[in-house]
Amino acid sequence: MLSTNIIKLAVVTLTMITISIPAHAHRAWIKPSKTVLSGEQNYVTFDAAVSNTLFIPEHVAFRMSYLSATSPDGKELAFENVGKGKYRNTFDLNLTQSGTYRVGSASSGLRASWKDAEGKRKRWPGRGGPAKGETFETAVPKQANDLKVTYSSYRSETFVTLGQPSDEILAPSNKGLELVPVTHPNDLFATEKATFKFYIDGEPAAKTKIEITRGSMRYRNAPETINVETNAQGEFSVTWPHAGMYFLEASYEDDKAEAPATKRTGSYSATFEVLPL
């Protein structure tokens, strides 16, 4: 059985799971001004939004309360110069130590659907998230008709490096669907192959479906999406056709969820910068 703490996990960002995949839907993204920096100290500016066209803010802003930043030594950093807009939020990160930083959002929790006495479909949590103090145990009828329960995880992130890349923050947490780099995420170059792995709750996530799309979609007719699937070890490779900012989104599903869930799903997205050779 899932522990009480897991059942009560905040699911405020679970609504974003449905807008990350497929590619034609709205995407939640975090875009740094640059990902590779030099010197002993530097700043990076980030845009965070949810939009249909990649990296063009035109739907809603990515909520700042969902986001956190981790320094190379694993400490949480504060955002500076936060600007909250209608279609995007912006913020700065002060890089004061050499190594790789992670900026992102992660959540997990239960979702349920069932039919009431009149045969109408009910869902928990609702579109706006659970009510204050509401949990799966208090909101979902124990004897609900046609009850379907899913344990879902969501993660969206990006990486920036000051000076020499480091690997400490790239280690998986073993919670939800996670990307584990074989090629460092800030060591990507056009026409070169990069390799990554996906894990689900600490185990290789075989048959994870992945879509990779280059930015600047507004200025070309074809999406030029790269479709990949992980192998039995959860591994996949991609050769970047051009330099630029790329958006990777992945989805996973199986029937290995712990009760009361019967299905386990994971959604992941990340922004990568691919540099010219």
User: How do residues 238-268 score in pLDDT, each as one tens digit?
Assistant: 999 999 999 999 999 999 999 999 999 999 9
Distance from C-alpha of 29 to C-alpha of 249, rounded to nearest angstrom: 10
What's the structural domain count of the chain? 1
The answer to the question of residue 117 being in a domain is no
Q: In this structure, what CATH number is given to the domain that contains residue 77?
A: 2.60.40.1930
Please enumerate in sequence order all residues whose Cβ is within 8 A of that of 59, keeping only pairs 6 or more positions apart, or say none: 26, 49, 50, 51, 52, 87
The answer to the question of residue 265 being in a domain is yes
Distance from C-alpha of 7 to C-alpha of 1, rounded to nearest angstrom: 10
The answer to the question of residue 114 being in a domain is no
Distance from C-alpha of 63 to C-alpha of 3, rounded to nearest angstrom: 28
- The pTM assigned to this predicted structure is 0.88
The answer to the question of residue 132 being in a domain is no
Reading the block at residue 235, the tokens are 């591994």
The answer to the question of residue 83 being in a domain is yes
Range of the domain at 61: 4-108+150-274
The answer to the question of residue 138 being in a domain is no
The answer to the question of residue 270 being in a domain is yes
User: How do residues 175-208 score in pLDDT, each as one tens digit?
Assistant: 999 999 999 999 999 999 999 999 999 999 999 9
Amino acid at position 240, single letter:
W
